[in-house]
Chain A
């Protein structure tokens, strides 16, 4: 899933300075699961904004800070239902990932849509309250050759034929808190009885499938209408 975290409240307050009617929009999918921008968090942020503004003596009948949560911000189908509320606001504060913010900005033409989160990575919860990056969306997956452990996202140098000389006691030289991805790959291949496969040198990666030529697209001809 997409993992995000909320921006500092002070930054958010600066962002919405000058607007009076704010609609905080949560997203019911990834960011609900990573506890950054779901219904609960939208309620909390809206409440904080109201109190911060009250503190600044900004109370007026024109002030309105409310919240709404859609199932998925990154799909048009779910955005229609908040259209009226969006229309009634001066600015929309999105608690979705970057895709959610941009989907709303496109859907609601002429409306200021602001990001309340920093979108971090594709990953998973390690345990309650801790998320780790697992995939960098490189566009050309090599997990078949690395025992299901991603060297692009999890090796600090994104090496394709690791480990580097800095790998020590299973840890990355960048920090003793980071597992060496290549040690993990080695251990996993060993337990799979596939160590000999690591003898094959991986060819340079085709980075044209990554950041080349503007935003990437995925097309499924059979699904196009």
Chain B
């Protein structure tokens, strides 16, 4: 089974996933909820339903472009963002934004030659455990057909990942620069 990461809104899709897990519609596994995603968003909780990694988010509007890319880079073969139906977002328009953002990331990965369908957005309501299972099955099948994902395996070594460099250069460096 391909490796799938699902960002799920806690007000809808996450409930659906939990219900699906409880009903055993997928594999019957219950979802352990202690783990956290390291790195970018220490606040996200992760669980599993079947082979799918479910990342619980307060709203899909909270999912950033970089979160999706990091999931792919980190080894996911496909990433889905599961939000409330339009008009049903707890925060009014978080799901609409998330959907647009997913469209943006799809274009980004298409530009570098990666199948855009590796990233998709779906709407769910909390009681839609059956729809959740169907989405996962269908998506897994699609992703499987695409072959392995774009995980890099490149270790980002010493020269730093994303930390904002602030403060002053040493006086010498600044002076040397000015002198040039």
Identify the A interface with B (CB < 8 A).
8-10, 13, 21, 23, 28, 39-40, 42-44, 46-48, 50-55, 59, 63-71, 76-85, 88-89, 106-107, 109
- Contact pick for B173, options A59, A80, A89, CB 8 Å: A80
In the complex, chain A residues whose CB is within 8 Å of the CB of B177: 76, 79-80, 106-107
The residue of chain A having its C-beta at the shortest distance from the C-beta of B72 within the complex is A51
Asked if B69 and A48 make an inter-chain contact with CB atoms under 8 angstroms apart, the answer reads yes
CA of A106 to CA of B168 in the docked complex: distance in angstroms? Answer: 17
Asked if A85 and B170 make an inter-chain contact with CB atoms under 8 angstroms apart, the answer reads no
The residue of chain A having its C-beta at the shortest distance from the C-beta of B158 within the complex is A88
In the complex, chain B residues whose CB is within 8 Å of the CB of A65: 154, 156
Identify the B interface with A (CB < 8 A).
64-66, 69-70, 72-73, 108-109, 111-114, 150-154, 156-170, 173-174, 177-178, 180
Asked if B159 and A59 make an inter-chain contact with CB atoms under 8 angstroms apart, the answer reads no
Asked if A51 and B73 make an inter-chain contact with CB atoms under 8 angstroms apart, the answer reads yes
Supply 8 further A-B pairs (C-beta < 8 A) apart from A40-B65, A55-B114.
A47-B70, A48-B69, A52-B113, A59-B154, A64-B156, A66-B159, A71-B166, A89-B159
Asked if A69 and B162 make an inter-chain contact with CB atoms under 8 angstroms apart, the answer reads yes
Asked if B66 and A50 make an inter-chain contact with CB atoms under 8 angstroms apart, the answer reads no
Asked if B154 and A78 make an inter-chain contact with CB atoms under 8 angstroms apart, the answer reads no
Asked if B111 and A42 make an inter-chain contact with CB atoms under 8 angstroms apart, the answer reads no
- Contact pick for A80, options B112, B154, B161, B168, CB 8 Å: B168
Asked if B169 and A79 make an inter-chain contact with CB atoms under 8 angstroms apart, the answer reads yes
CA of A9 to CA of B113 in the docked complex: distance in angstroms? Answer: 11
In the complex, chain A residues whose CB is within 8 Å of the CB of B109: 48, 51
Asked if B66 and A47 make an inter-chain contact with CB atoms under 8 angstroms apart, the answer reads yes
- Contact pick for A76, options B69, B70, B164, B174, CB 8 Å: B174
- Contact pick for B162, options A9, A39, A53, A85, CB 8 Å: A39
The residue of chain B having its C-beta at the shortest distance from the C-beta of A88 within the complex is B159
Asked if B159 and A44 make an inter-chain contact with CB atoms under 8 angstroms apart, the answer reads no
In the complex, chain A residues whose CB is within 8 Å of the CB of B114: 51, 55
Asked if B157 and A66 make an inter-chain contact with CB atoms under 8 angstroms apart, the answer reads yes
CA of A136 to CA of B166 in the docked complex: distance in angstroms? Answer: 30
In the assembled complex, the CB of B40 is this many whole angstroms from the nearest CB of chain A, namely 8
CA of A68 to CA of B65 in the docked complex: distance in angstroms? Answer: 18
In the complex, chain A residues whose CB is within 8 Å of the CB of B156: 46, 50, 64-66
In the complex, chain A residues whose CB is within 8 Å of the CB of B163: 68-69
- Contact pick for A55, options B65, B112, B160, B180, CB 8 Å: B112
In the complex, chain A residues whose CB is within 8 Å of the CB of B66: 40, 43-44, 47
- Contact pick for A85, options B65, B153, B160, CB 8 Å: B160
In this complex, the member of B113, B169, B173 whose beta carbon has the largest number of chain A beta carbons within 10 angstroms is B169
When A9-B112, A47-B66, A51-B109 are in contact, do A81 and B161 touch as well, CB less than 8 Å? no
- Contact pick for B166, options A53, A78, A107, CB 8 Å: A78
Asked if A54 and B151 make an inter-chain contact with CB atoms under 8 angstroms apart, the answer reads yes
- Contact pick for B152, options A10, A28, A59, CB 8 Å: A59
- Contact pick for B169, options A39, A47, A50, A80, CB 8 Å: A80
In the complex, chain B residues whose CB is within 8 Å of the CB of A46: 156
Asked if B166 and A109 make an inter-chain contact with CB atoms under 8 angstroms apart, the answer reads no
In this complex, the member of B112, B156, B169, B180 whose beta carbon has the largest number of chain A beta carbons within 10 angstroms is B112
Asked if B69 and A44 make an inter-chain contact with CB atoms under 8 angstroms apart, the answer reads yes
Asked if B111 and A10 make an inter-chain contact with CB atoms under 8 angstroms apart, the answer reads yes
In the assembled complex, the CB of B76 is this many whole angstroms from the nearest CB of chain A, namely 11
Contacts A/B (CB < 8 Å), 14 sampled: A44-B66, A48-B69, A48-B112, A50-B156, A53-B152, A54-B152, A59-B152, A64-B157, A66-B157, A68-B162, A69-B162, A78-B165, A89-B159, A109-B180
